[in-house]
Chains A and B, each alone.
Chain A
Amino acid sequence: MEILAIQILNSLFYASVLFLIAAGLSLIFGVMNIVNLAHGSLYALGAYITAWLIGRAIAGGSGASAIWLFLLMPIGALAVALVGAVIEPTLLRPLYRRAEEYQLLVTFGLLLILEDVMRFVWGGLPLTADTVVDALPIVRILGQLYPAYNLVVIGIGGIAALGLWAFVYRTRFGVMLRATSQDRRMASALGLDVGRVYILAFAIGCFMAGLGGAIVVPSQAAVLGMGVDALVLAFVVVVVGGLGSLKGALVGALIVSFVRTAGIQFFPEVELAVLYLIAGIVLLVRPTGLFGTA
């Protein structure tokens, strides 16, 4: 029973991070109709930048109180959003009229570049930021010890999900965003500034990925290749949930996380295979995913 509670918490922790990545991927696809293969690398970039910032802050010895370190996480995510705001108008915008293969080639090229940039800047050694985890207490849950930091991550995931939902469905920009995603030509005929919607949507998607990296890095160090691993899992999430759907990203992230946590516990040899099997079955039965639209 106690083990189960911890496993559920672990799944929720994992789901929070996966949701942040997959929601950004899904948002970008929903609005721009682009499958961003570099999305996992943007998540890794968020992790690296945040770990680096936290490392600098600690080395600088600026009091290094935990609150300060927590503030560095959104800054890491914002940095990634900024990268996104540069990438969209320069690299992606010329490609919207081209065939999908070109978009895949460009975002794949971007993936390779980002991976190499991270290797060049931060080297091959893992970059840790576990001071943040240590800054928070270990709490006792049903007699089991559990880092309070993980609960914070679960909280951030929940808040991010709510925040993104509110943003897309309750704000003025959200209305423009949904209109543009339904019909770009019509939105621009109505006089909406589609270019600005695109750049903001892409930056928000990148922010979500960067935030995912920022909150994961204190408990799992930033390592080369983490972006590609995350991309693969994010694809499983959006295949199950439906590409372009926020609800799908949330449900997909929960399903993948719970299955994976159970997999690590009960069938570690085929843990990933089971995930692909689920994705495959969803593709066969409901090609658009659980919440996707055709």
Chain B
Amino acid sequence: MALLQTVNLTKRFGDFRAVNSVNFTVNQGEFLSLVGSNGAGKTTLVNLISAQLWPDTGQVLFEGRDITQATVFQRIRAGIARSFQLVNLFDRLTVLDNVSLAIFSREGKARNLATLAEGDREVRTEAMDVLGLFGLDTKRRLLAGGLAQGERKLLDVAVAYALRPKILFLDEPTSGVGTRDKAQIMDTISAVVRAGTVTAVVIEHDMDIVFKYSDRIVVMHEGAFLADGLPAEIRVNKEVATVLLGAAVPG
């Protein structure tokens, strides 16, 4: 059974169909890349799935349940998390607090608010584990605003990961960072997916990275799916090459 499925999902902005009757399927445990030129509807699709936007028509099914009407909070509780295209960190909080917040959020209202953050062993241990996974444990006391760009991107993913989602959407996790940081970010994400703890859907422009890490690639164009297949299939797809190449050349 598919972990996540959209049924004829549509979102219009005025006359523009940003997402046009999309049937998207994500399988348990895969590393899926969502590619396409700017304005192809990738981010809109992810926004619809994570409840940042509401669809005009269509449904979102998660583990077979219809979650089309569920709020952000309910979807996080269900196991859907995402990072944003622009880094979404609390710059004036420490690295550790940024991750702890995700854990608080996941636990919801049940826990005592006046708990001393420092004495909060469980949360601290868990936050440190997550930071360790992303190689940020030595930076825990720094303010998030003081990190280098690559580290910020990693922390951003770490925060989304700390929500312990079943499915993790990452919107351009490597944009604006150098080649070495890119590899580290993707290696880390790929490692957690391979460890079987999470399914990942990554929006990415760098095709070298897409081909290297993905189990499956979905290509979007003008709000709809152009192609869906294994990296080897997508690599030789002429139509995809035209669309992606066309996007790479301005004008």
Contacts and interface: CB of A to CB of B under 8 A. Distances in A.
Contacts of A187: 90, 101
A171 B117 CA distance: 5
Contacts of A191: 72-73, 76-77, 105-106, 163
Interface stretch (A122-130, A175-183, A210-218, A227-235): A175-183
Interface string B125-168: 00000000000000000000000000000000001000100000
A172 B90 contact: no
SS class, residues of chain A in contact with chain B: helix
Contacts of A182: 90-93
A257 to B, nearest CB: 29
Nearest to A190: B105
B116 A176 contact: no
A173 interface: yes
A178 B116 contact: no
B196 to A, nearest CB: 24
The interface centre, meaning the residue of A167, A171, A191 with most chain B CB atoms within 10 A of its CB, is A191
Interface string A188-201: 11111100100010
A178 B100 CA distance: 13
Interface stretch (B30-38, B107-115, B230-238): B107-115
Contacts of B116: 170-172
A173 B102 CA distance: 13
B73 A193 contact: yes
B57 interface: no
Q: How large is the interface on B (under 10, 10 to 19, 20 to 34, 35 or more residues)?
A: 20 to 34
A174 interface: yes
B90 A186 contact: yes
Contacts of A183: 90
B88 interface: yes
Contacts of A174: 117
Interface in B29-83: 52, 72-73, 76-77
Nearest to B107: A172
Contacts of A186: 88, 90
Nearest to B123: A172
B105 A172 contact: no
Contact of B113 (A171, A179, A188, A189): A171
Nearest to A173: B113
Contacts of B163: 190-191
Nearest to B118: A170
B114 A171 contact: yes
A189 B72 contact: yes
A183 B118 CA distance: 23
A176 B114 contact: no
Contacts of B106: 191
Interface string A44-79: 000000000000000000000000000000000000
A171 B118 CA distance: 8
A172 B111 contact: yes
23 contacts: A170-B117, A171-B113, A172-B100, A172-B104, A174-B117, A175-B101, A176-B101, A176-B113, A182-B91, A186-B88, A186-B90, A188-B72, A189-B52, A190-B76, A190-B101, A190-B102, A191-B72, A191-B73, A191-B106, A191-B163, A192-B105, A193-B109, A196-B109
